[in-house]
Every structure is written in structure tokens, then in C-alpha cells.
């Protein structure tokens, strides 16, 4: 046991003053025919939770994540047991990792793979003991200096080959652990200046790497979803997977759209100048909604702060899109989030997950109620109702022409400029957020 002073976190309701309890997340509560835990499918991010020690550009770590061990491989083993203790105590049923989060890097690729082979069985036995599942795996092809100019988009073919070898192994581990997803986040797949960059070649190469990953994954029995996680910038000035719309064009150009879906991260959406809801909507409308990296950024900062999500408005609108997408299939809500550098105790790990899980549980309840009552649907349907009959119906059916539309416009009165009622709708959402709290 690593967290002796922390008991299993229970649902105690909104009146509870116990910080180590859920106020809104009630795992077994049925919401629209499904348990809250099934709607939300929370996942722990291994990199932030087990590895992130608070190091930033101006200071070293503030939190000890060695879990009472000393050698790198021993630390990795202890992290496995600590991670499962955290998940069991929080009631989190999934986790996500990069290959390099779970095992140390050796001095050769072979040695690194051997380390992985020592750790994977430990994870597997903990999964069997607890029933906790792997949401997705991925390869860290951005930390090592060899990847300073990208991995799949590196100008150096040897680096491309190394990345392929690393992804091959990461796929094998993901399959071995029954993972339901495999993520490509762009890492350093982008550029700093076009003066030294053959953008077309880099993107062609990236697509080829992904194609090979799909072929190999399917060959070794991976039946889950491949995901691309869009992000517009950071670490490179321009990341190729800028946003959902850009990634869609890339997938369609290279014929990858049937194997890939989107893993949408809240903080990446806002860095791209979009709302989180916008990115989810673009994915939903194009049938590529897959999974979510749940976090939030700071609107006053221009980088990826990966904060635990606590903004109820955002979690509500996120869950609105998730419910409208029919819920998660292979995907889930991975907390790609870290406690702030000054929140440096083990207790803060639990408190930050509790905050994020409660915020999403609340968002689920509000969104479900808004959908049940049909308030937004009703408004939107009415707003577009002119397309249901007459000339509008012909437009909807694509059965009119410029000639007919001109004739119609010439013989009609000036179109009525109807209000979009934005402020009314924003207030309506606030009303649902408040009312949901009152009814708990």
C-alpha cells in the first residue's frame, strides 16, 4: 500500500463535507438506462499521474513519484502497484499509457524492449486481479533527442525506421493487454520553419507510417480503434494534426478514415482557437468521434496546461456532444491532466481526480436532462423548420435549381430576419446547471 491514509473514495452526495468523497459521481446511478460509470468510462493517464513530478522550465520536481523504490526498473514496478491502488480507490476502470511511461529506456532498443517485457506481465496480473482495463496505448516518439525533428515526419529515414520499430512494439503491448484503442498524438510531427521543411514529403511519410501501423495492428489481432489526437502547436510551432477538420482532410486524402477516429483533448481544442464542444461536434458530424482527453486549459495562457477539468459549463457541453454521439464505444474519458506543481502531495492526486470526476458526473446529469427535455433540440429544429416544406423542402431534397430559386425570390417578400436568441439559450443552460444541483 502506498496511500495508507486514503480509503476507498465513496459517493457521499452534495451535502458531504468530506473532501475525499464524491459529491456527484455515483458510479452505479442509472442515467438514461446506463450506469454513470458506463457513460463516463474514466481513465487514468500514466504519464501525468505516475510520472509527472512537477518539473517545469524554471524548476525541478516538487512531488516524489519514486514510490519507495530506487532502481529505474524497480520504480516502474512500484508504479504499477501504486497506479492500481489509485484506480481501485477512485473506482477508475481504465488507464492509458505511453510505452516510455511504464518502463525505463535502456541504452539500446533491444534493452528498452526487454524492460517493457518485464513490466507488461506485472500490469497484466494487476489487470486480472482488479478487472481494470486498458483504454489505449501509445508510443512516446517525441521525448528522445533522436526525435527532435519528428518521428514519422523526420527528415532522417533512420529515425522513421526507429519510430516504426517503437510503434510496432507499443502495438504488441496494447494487444497483449487487451487495449481498446491505439493513439497517435502528433508529438513533434510538425515544423519550426518551412525554410528547411518538405511538408508534402513529411505528411506522405506520416500517412505511410500510419498505414503500416493499421496493417500490422490488424495482423496481430488489434480490433479496437486507432485514434489521432489533434493539437495545433506545442511542441512544434505548427503541428500537422492541427484540429479535427485538418486531420479529417488528411485521413481522407490517404484513405485512412475507416480505421481512425479522433481522440479529442479539451486543451488542444482551445489552443486551436476552438471550443472543446466545437471539436467534438465536428467529429460527431463526420462520424469520427472516438475518445476524449479530459482536461482544461487556462484562457490567459497560450500553452497546454493540462489542468484537471472543473468547469461545469464545459463538462456539460462535452457530455451533451458525447450523449448525442450515442456515447462511447471503444473510447472513454482519459484525464490527460496533472495537479498543479504546488499541489505536490499524494493527497492531491486523489483530490484532483475527484474534482475532475465530479465535474464530469455533474455535466452528464445536466446534459442528459437538457436532452431529455428536448429544449435545445426543439429550439434548433424550429430554427431550421423552413427547410421542412415548400421551397425549403426542395433545398433539403437537393431538387431545385438556380432558376427556380430566382423565380421564388423574385416573387416573395423580403426574408424575415429571425433572432438567433443566443443569450436566451445561454441563460437556459445556466438554468439547467443550477436546477440539476437543486434536484440532487
Catalytically active residues, by annotation: 98, 101
Kindly state the cell numbers that stand for 384: 431550421
Q: Which stretch binds Co ion (CB under 5 A): 197-205, 261-269, 375-383, 417-425?
A: 261-269
When CB distances are held under 5 to 8 angstroms depending on the partner's kind, the choice from ligand XUL, Co ion, none that residue 43 binds is: none
Decide: is 243 part of the binding site for ligand XUL (CB under 6 A). no
Decide: is 89 part of the binding site for ligand XUL (CB under 6 A). no
Kindly state the cell numbers that stand for 46: 500514466
Contacts by 189-192 with C-beta closer than 8 Å and gap 24+?
Answer: 189/150, 189/151, 189/152, 189/153, 189/236, 189/239, 189/240, 189/241, 190/150, 190/153, 190/233, 190/236, 190/237, 190/238, 190/239, 190/240, 191/236, 191/237, 191/238, 192/236, 192/237
Site for ligand XUL in 119-178 (CB under 6 A): 138
The span from the CA of 37 to the CA of 25, in Å, is 8
User: Which residue lies nearer to ligand XUL by CB, 22 or 240?
Assistant: 240
When CB distances are held under 5 to 8 angstroms depending on the partner's kind, the choice from ligand XUL, Co ion, none that residue 183 binds is: ligand XUL
The span from the CA of 61 to the CA of 193, in Å, is 32
User: Which residue lies nearer to ligand XUL by CB, 141 or 366?
Assistant: 141
Site for ligand XUL in 177-216 (CB under 6 A): 183, 185
Decide: is 293 part of the binding site for ligand XUL (CB under 6 A). yes
Q: Taking the complex as a whole, how short is the minimal distance between the CB of residue 248 and ligand XUL, in angstroms? A: 19
* Residue among 129, 189, 185, 134 nearest 159 (CA): 189
Size of the site for ligand XUL (CB under 6 A): 10
Binding mask 300-339 for Co ion (x = CB under 5 A): ------------------------------------x---
Binding mask 264-303 for Co ion (x = CB under 5 A): -x---------------------------x----------
Q: Taking each helix axis from N to C terminus, what angle separates 276-285 and 312-324, rounded to the nearest 10 degrees?
A: 0
Site for ligand XUL in 305-344 (CB under 6 A): 336
Site for Co ion in 361-390 (CB under 5 A): none
Q: Taking the complex as a whole, how short is the minimal distance between the CB of residue 272 and ligand XUL, in angstroms? A: 12
User: Which residue lies nearer to Co ion by CB, 303 or 424?
Assistant: 303
When CB distances are held under 5 to 8 angstroms depending on the partner's kind, the choice from ligand XUL, Co ion, none that residue 22 binds is: none
Q: Which stretch binds Co ion (CB under 5 A): 22-30, 262-270, 338-346, 419-427?
A: 262-270
The one among 85, 172, 243, 265 contacting ligand XUL by CB under 6 A: 265
Decide: is 225 part of the binding site for ligand XUL (CB under 6 A). no
User: Which residue lies nearer to ligand XUL by CB, 301 or 435?
Assistant: 301
What is the contact surface with ligand XUL in residues (CB under 6 A)? 98, 138, 183, 185, 229, 231, 265, 293, 304, 336
Amino acid at each position: 500500500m502506498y496511500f495508507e491514509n486514503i480509503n476507498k473514495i465513496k459517493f457521499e452526495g452534495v451535502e458531504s463535507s468530506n473532501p475525499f468523497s464524491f459529491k456527484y459521481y455515483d458510479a452505479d446511478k442509472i442515467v438514461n438506462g446506463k450506469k454513470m460509470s458506463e457513460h463516463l468510462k474514466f481513465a487514468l493517464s500514466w504519464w501525468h499521474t505516475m510520472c509527472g513530478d512537477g518539473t517545469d522550465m524554471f524548476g525541478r520536481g516538487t512531488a516524489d513519484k519514486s514510490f519507495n523504490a530506487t532502481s529505474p526498473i524497480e520504480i516502474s514496478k512500484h508504479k504499477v502497484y501504486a497506479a492500481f491502488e489509485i484506480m481501485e480507490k477512485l473506482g477508475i476502470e481504465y488507464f492509458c499509457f505511453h510505452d516510455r511511461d511504464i518502463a525505463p529506456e535502456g541504452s539500446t532498443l533491444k534493452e528498452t524492449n526487454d524492460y517493457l517485457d518485464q513490466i507488461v506481465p506485472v500490469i497484466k496480473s494487476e489487470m486480472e486481479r482488479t478487472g481494470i482495463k486498458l483504454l489505449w496505448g501509445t508510443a512516446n516518439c517525441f521525448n528522445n533527442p533522436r526525435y527532435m525533428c519528428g518521428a514519422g515526419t523526420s527528415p532522417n529515414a533512420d529515425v522513421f525506421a526507429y519510430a516504426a520499430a517503437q510503434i510496432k512494439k507499443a502495438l504488441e503491448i496494447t494487444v497483449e493487454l487487451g487495449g481498446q484503442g491505439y493513439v497517435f498524438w502528433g508529438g513533434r510531427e510538425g515544423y519550426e520553419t518551412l525554410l528547411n521543411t518538405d511538408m508534402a514529403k513529411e505528411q506522405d511519410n506520416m500517412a505511410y507510417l500510419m498505414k503500416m501501423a493499421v496493417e500490422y495492428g490488424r495482423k496481430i489481432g488489434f480490433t479496437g480503434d486507432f485514434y489521432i489526437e489533434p493539437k495545433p502547436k506545442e511542441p512544434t510551432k505548427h503541428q500537422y494534426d492541427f484540429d479535427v477538420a485538418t486531420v479529417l482532410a488528411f485521413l481522407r486524402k490517404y484513405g485512412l478514415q475507416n480505421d481512425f477516429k479522433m481522440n479529442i483533448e479539451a486543451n488542444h481544442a482551445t489552443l486551436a482557437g476552438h471550443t472543446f464542444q466545437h471539436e467534438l461536434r465536428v467529429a460527431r458530424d463526420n462520424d469520427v468521434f472516438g475518445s476524449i482527453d479530459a482536461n482544461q486549459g487556462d484562457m490567459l495562457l497560450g500553452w497546454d496546461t493540462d489542468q484537471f477539468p472543473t468547469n461545469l459549463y464545459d463538462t456539460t457541453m462535452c457530455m451533451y456532444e458525447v450523449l448525442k454521439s450515442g456515447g462511447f464505444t471503444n473510447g472513454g474519458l482519459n484525464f490527460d491532466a496533472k495537479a498543479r506543481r504546488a499541489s505536490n502531495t499524494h493527497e492531491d492526486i486523489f483530490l484532483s481526480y475527484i474534482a475532475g470526476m465530479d465535474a464530469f458526473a455533474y455535466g452528464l446529469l445536466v446534459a442528459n436532462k437538457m436532452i431529455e427535455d428536448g429544449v435545445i433540440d426543439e429550439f434548433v429544429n424550429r430554427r431550421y423548420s423552413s427547410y421542412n416544406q415548400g421551397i425549403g423542402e426542395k433545398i433539403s431534397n437537393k431538387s431545385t435549381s438556380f432558376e427556380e430559386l430566382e423565380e421564388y425570390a423574385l416573387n416573395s417578400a423580403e426574408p424575415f430576419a429571425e433572432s438567433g436568441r443566443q443569450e436566451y439559450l445561454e441563460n437556459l443552460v445556466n438554468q439547467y446547471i443550477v436546477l440539476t444541483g437543486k434536484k440532487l
